């Protein structure tokens, strides 16, 4: 039995970090994917293994099923029985990963490996199998690499878990999950994200699962709310990867610490970001009948992105490299903001409909001279997809 599943990365148009503290945020999927292929091996043989092949990194790891069972104990694994990783279990998982002597330059991978072992054994138990992962997303750069990894993995595992029927999509060589199964995929991925991030809001796994553009709000006491948005005009975004490494977990906790030091001030900033997301959601869905209306809409959108970037700087998650992108693009009156956790990573630049190709090329060339990598993305494609 085998299955292939892919899930997209994302951009956040407004509201990152504030969303962790209850503000609304707007995110959209992009056309860069993480793909997970799992083939199960027949059980009951000797030397059964759970293997993980991280193709992009050239890392091939495996754990004997018997060892995993001995360390993690018996479990009644099933895709429909959602569970969280306890701190005791995380400790056991870290022991299992530590034995693999991961090269120092890949040490940031550890949390992804804990998430892999947790999701695999919680959903499929100790069934032997080989998982191959490839990704088009730069890892740890703000484009949701962790969420797309967790969503693609959870999707593939659930597709292989007993009792889940997949619906064949008309005319496409592709399967889709029923809506309630999609919700389950997103919830499992959230449990994986908790291992990677510590305190995720859930926006990244939600947009990677459902795709398109969403407005997301984490209700502090109950569950989260997700509203799909229908953008009436195409949004073209230039992404600049500053190549400055950062880690979402530590950036999220640095914002929480600042919020503890200045509760009233930070709460006002989060409220302001919430208003930006509310306004942006209305704006993207508002009709724009002619060129003048499109330009007016784009001006407003750029202003909102600019204000959001200012507030992100104010909560301490910008970075010299991000400010360089903001200044460089501003020379051509283009607005940029960080996306995802900030601290380096990727920056979004809105590309207005009427911007000439010559100006776009000039901006890209200046950014690349700074050592950054630029690429265009399609905004708002499909979410998780599963292939037989
Ligand atoms: N393809 C992958 N294979 C294994 N682990 C991965 C993969 N992609 C991401 N990860 C895990 O996720 C970590 C990066 O997650 P992190 O949340 O810091 O960045 P991001 O998701 O790219 O950005 P953001 O959360 O700001 O959108 C990696 O260090 C690794 O542990
Ligand atoms: C920084 C953050 O707001 C977005 C990361 O893409 C964290 C989260 O919401 O989980
Ligand atoms: Mg992440």
Residue 274 has pLDDT above 80, yes or no: yes
CA dist 187 and 194 (Å) reads: 11
Residue 100 has pLDDT above 70, yes or no: yes
pLDDT confidence band for 309 (50 / 70 / 90): very high
Residue 167 has pLDDT above 70, yes or no: no
65 CA from centroid of ligand 1 (Å): 26
pLDDT score recorded for residue 166? 67
- What is the value of ipTM here, to two decimals? 0.99
**What does the angle CA 376 – CA 381 – CA 382 come to, to the nearest 5 degrees?**
145
pLDDT score recorded for residue 388? 75
Q: Looking at residues 275-279, what average pLDDT do you find?
A: 98
| Proximal ligand: closest to the CA of 20 | 2
Question: For 118-129, how does the pLDDT look when each residue is reduced to its tens digit (9 = 90+)?
Answer: 999 999 999 999
Q: What percent of the chain has pLDDT over 70?
A: 97
- Which of the pair, 172 or 11, is modelled with greater confidence? 11
Residue 261 has pLDDT above 80, yes or no: yes
Site to substitute for ligand 2 among 200, 220, 239, 270, most atoms within 8 A of C-beta:
200
Residue 148 has pLDDT above 90, yes or no: yes
CA dist 238 and 302 (Å) reads: 13
pLDDT score recorded for residue 163? 72
Q: For residue 198, give the 3-state DSSP assignment.
A: coil
CA dist 281 and 83 (Å) reads: 33
Cβ–ligand 1 distance for 203 under 6 Å, the answer no
Lowest-confidence segment of 119-123, 197-201, 255-259, 360-364 by average pLDDT: 197-201
Question: For 2-37, how does the pLDDT look when each residue is reduced to its tens digit (9 = 90+)?
Answer: 999 999 999 999 999 999 999 999 999 999 999 999
Cβ–ligand 1 distance for 49 under 6 Å, the answer no
Do the beta carbons of residue 156 and residue 36 sit within 8 Å?
yes
Residue 171 has pLDDT above 60, yes or no: no
Site to substitute for ligand 1 among 145, 193, 196, 205, most atoms within 8 A of C-beta:
145
Does the annotation count 204 as an active-site position?
yes
Q: Looking at residues 277-298, what average pLDDT do you find?
A: 95
* Atom number, ligand 2, closest to the C-alpha of residue 10: 6
Do the beta carbons of residue 28 and residue 63 sit within 8 Å?
no
pLDDT score recorded for residue 173? 64
pLDDT score recorded for residue 279? 98
Residue 160 has pLDDT above 70, yes or no: yes
pLDDT score recorded for residue 83? 92
pLDDT confidence band for 228 (50 / 70 / 90): very high
Q: What percent of the chain has pLDDT over 90?
A: 84
pLDDT score recorded for residue 125? 94
Lowest-confidence segment of 79-83, 344-348, 363-367 by average pLDDT: 79-83
Do the beta carbons of residue 118 and residue 30 sit within 8 Å?
no
Q: Mind giving me the DSSP string for 56-120?
A: GGTEEEEEEHHHHHHHH------TTS--PPPHHHHHHHHHHHHTT---GGGGGGHHHHHHHHHHH
pLDDT score recorded for residue 101? 86
Lowest-confidence segment of 3-12, 19-28, 155-164, 334-343 by average pLDDT: 155-164
pLDDT score recorded for residue 79? 83
> What contacts 205, CB < 8 A, 6 or more positions away?
147, 150, 151, 186, 189, 190, 192, 193
pLDDT confidence band for 220 (50 / 70 / 90): low
256 CA from centroid of ligand 1 (Å): 20
Q: Whose CA is nearest to atom 9 of ligand 1?
A: 146
CA dist 6 and 77 (Å) reads: 23
Question: For 206-219, how does the pLDDT look when each residue is reduced to its tens digit (9 = 90+)?
Answer: 999 999 999 999 97
Cα-based torsion angle of the residue sequence 260, 186, 66, 53 in order, rounded to the nearest 10 degrees? -100
The mean of the pLDDT values for the chain is 93
Beta-strand ranges (E) seen in the chain are: 2-14, 24-40, 49-54, 59-64, 129-135, 167-168, 175-176, 213-218, 224-229, 237-241, 336-338, 346-350, 373-377, 385-387
pLDDT score recorded for residue 221? 65
Cβ–ligand 1 distance for 196 under 6 Å, the answer yes
């Amino acid at each position: 039995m085998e299955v292939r599943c892919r899930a997209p990365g994302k951009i956040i148009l407004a509201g990152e970090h504030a969303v962790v503290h209850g503000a609304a945020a707007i995110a959209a999927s992009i056309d860069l994917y993480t793909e997970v292929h799992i083939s199960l091996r027949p059980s009951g043989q000797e030397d059964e293994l759970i293997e993980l092949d991280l193709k992009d990194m050239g890392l091939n790891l495996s754990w004997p099923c018997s060892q995993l069972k001995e360390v993690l104990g018996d479990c009644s694994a099933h895709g429909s029985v959602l569970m969280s990783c306890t701190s005791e279990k995380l400790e056991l998982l870290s022991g299992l990963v530590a034995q693999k002597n991961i090269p120092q330059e890949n040490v940031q991978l550890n949390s992804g490996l804990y998430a892999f072992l947790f999701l695999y054994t919680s959903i499929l138990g100790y069934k032997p199998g080989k998982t191959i992962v490839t990704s088009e997303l730069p890892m740890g750069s703000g484009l949701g690499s962790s969420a797309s990894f967790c969503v693609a993995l959870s999707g593939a595992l659930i597709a292989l878990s007993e009792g889940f029927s997949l619906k064949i999509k008309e005319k496409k060589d592709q399967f889709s999950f029923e809506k309630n199964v999609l919700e389950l995929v997103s919830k499992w991925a959230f449990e994986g994200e908790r291992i990677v991030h510590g305190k995720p809001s859930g926006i990244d796994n939600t947009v990677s699962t459902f795709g398109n553009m969403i407005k997301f709000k984490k209700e502090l006491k109950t569950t989260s709310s997700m509203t799909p948005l229908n953008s009436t005009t195409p949004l073209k975004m230039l992404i600049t990867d500053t190549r400055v490494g950062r880690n979402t977990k530590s950036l999220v906790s640095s914002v929480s610490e600042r919020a503890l030091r200045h509760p009233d001030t930070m709460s006002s900033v989060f409220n302001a970001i919430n208003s930006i997301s509310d306004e942006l959601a209305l704006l993207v869905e508002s009709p724009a009948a002619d060129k003048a209306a499109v330009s007016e809409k784009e001006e407003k959108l750029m202003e909102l992105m600019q204000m959001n970037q200012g507030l992100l700087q104010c909560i301490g998650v910008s970075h010299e490299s991000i400010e360089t992108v903001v200044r460089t693009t501003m020379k051509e009156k283009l607005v940029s903001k960080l996306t995802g956790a900030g601290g380096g990573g990727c920056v979004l630049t809105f590309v207005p409909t009427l911007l000439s190709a010559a100006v776009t090329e000039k901006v890209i060339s200046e950014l690349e001279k700074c050592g950054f990598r630029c690429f265009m993305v399609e905004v708002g494609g499909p979410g998780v997809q599963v292939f037989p």
